[in-house]
A and B are shown apart, each in its own frame.
Chain A
């Protein structure tokens, strides 16, 4: 379970990125984070990765507070989380298999287990036939599938997706969303997006942010600003 308790993030010049945000996320829950640019969606995801520091409040993952000033277990925390970004963040010199396997190598999995899980995740995302191709040979949709496959392997229970469909055409967007639908059965997913169609069609919990404030938190909500 993830818990945000009165989380405020202020930047040194006084800008407020998040203003006293509180919400809980149950295990295997799918949540859309919606709102205009600068609303604080990415800040929430970055806080969960301990990639930025909060000013007030606390964040807990499974009762472990992840935001103290001197939090040392950053690597351990991130090993529980899979990340999917709009710009894919794929290693260009490595092929598809190596990119996905990296997520498990970091956690010291046995090579045979790596092979098994990587193959399964590439099957799930539908790019097992591209296993030995390099990023330069892949389309944007395929690159995003690699990123999703990488986020899934290695027993990562939480998936943070930051505008994962932002660079994709509508057809590919729906194909990618199908994969996320499959993943929500086993993973907790926080999905930041601007895409009204996918939010409205899937009817999942929606947290709406505006100017760093949480203005709505609706079960089976839609895209409303």
Chain B
């Protein structure tokens, strides 16, 4: 351990460069991992709560709305139907725009549509119920969760693609920087290595201190990035609580194991730490083997 610290101290600029690149790679990887799992959790949440919202025309009478509600109930495919009157819609609107009184002043219950929020028994009933609603008198728009799921799926898929590309680039850069840094150090020790080889040192014996050094940097970068990530999670937790107060828990399955991604919790933090540690180990081992291979 003291050999590793001495070696790092002797080349402070290279150490700082390698540590910085590793730190940012792991920090961004951690943030991307958190974003992806959160989106996946949200997707799972929406998928397991089949809901349709039907908005009526502004001029539609309350009787028309109730008639539609009765028809829906008669299908036996709904669990719950909530009527949101124009007045209730206005109340909700006021809550959302409480910081902007001008918007409230410009709006009245008359210009807002009444709506029905329909919870279906199964997600498969959604298209059928949506078709039924579209043909009813007074119906203006049917918002069906398929659209939300599709949007979320598309978002998750895009985030995954961007994550993969971004992460590959970061990992490539980290490996290059770390390999270059280590190669520089190894070049300085070329004479030492040739003496060790003459004495019968195996390649693994010669590699060991360089691997130890890069793994040490990896551990340090993992620790630093996770301290920042935990800080981010704590801040995000407080910030997102306001938005997702009614959401309950967001869960997903990771390699067949259930994982709660919201509210953020210790298991999730440990998993994020493990993911960044594995990436860090991968990067440092590849780099140290690549760098030492050139001289052995």
Residues in chain A within 8 A of chain B (CB atoms): 49, 51, 75-81, 83, 89-91, 93, 102-103, 106-107, 150
Contact = CB atoms under 8 A, between A and B. Distances in A.
A89 B195 contact: yes
Ordered nearest first, which 7 A-B pairs have the shortest CB separation? A78-B200, A79-B200, A75-B202, A106-B201, A89-B195, A75-B200, A103-B199
A77 B200 contact: yes
Interface of B: 191-192, 195-203, 205
B199 A106 contact: yes
Contacts of B191: 89
B192 A91 contact: yes
A102 B195 CA distance: 10
Contacts of B196: 102, 106
A81 B200 contact: yes
A75 B195 contact: no
A91 B200 contact: no
B282 to A, nearest CB: 28
Contacts of A107: 200
Contacts of B203: 75
Contacts of B202: 75, 106
5 contacts: A75-B200, A75-B201, A77-B200, A83-B198, A93-B192
Nearest to B192: A91
Contacts of B197: 75, 78
Contacts of B198: 49, 51, 78, 83, 89
A89 B191 CA distance: 8
Contacts of A93: 192
A77 B202 CA distance: 11
Contacts of B192: 91, 93
Contacts of B195: 89-91
Nearest to B198: A83
A91 B189 CA distance: 10
A216 B205 CA distance: 41
Given A51-B198, A75-B202, A78-B200, 13 more contacts: A49-B198, A75-B201, A76-B200, A78-B199, A79-B199, A79-B200, A83-B198, A89-B195, A89-B198, A93-B192, A103-B199, A106-B202, A106-B205
A79 B199 CA distance: 6
A91 B194 CA distance: 10
Contacts of A51: 198
A157 to B, nearest CB: 13
A93 B7 CA distance: 11
A113 to B, nearest CB: 17
A17 B146 CA distance: 82
A102 B199 contact: yes
Nearest to A150: B199
Q: Which among B195, B198, B200, B205 has the highest number of chain A CB atoms within 10 Å? A: B200
A106 B193 CA distance: 12
Nearest to A51: B198
A74 to B, nearest CB: 8
A90 B195 CA distance: 8
A106 B198 CA distance: 11
A35 B195 CA distance: 26
Nearest to B10: A93
A75 B202 CA distance: 6
A150 B196 CA distance: 12
Nearest to B204: A75
A91 to B, nearest CB: 6
Contacts of A80: 200
A110 B229 CA distance: 43
A89 B192 CA distance: 8
Contacts of B205: 106
Nearest to A46: B198
A14 to B, nearest CB: 27
A83 B200 CA distance: 10
A10 B41 CA distance: 70
A76 B199 CA distance: 10
A83 B201 CA distance: 13
Contacts of A89: 191, 195, 198
Q: With a 10 A CB-CB cut-off, give which of A78, A79, A80, A81 has the most chain B CB atoms.
A: A78
A138 to B, nearest CB: 16
A179 B187 CA distance: 35
A140 to B, nearest CB: 17
A33 B192 CA distance: 27
Nearest to A78: B200
B208 to A, nearest CB: 11
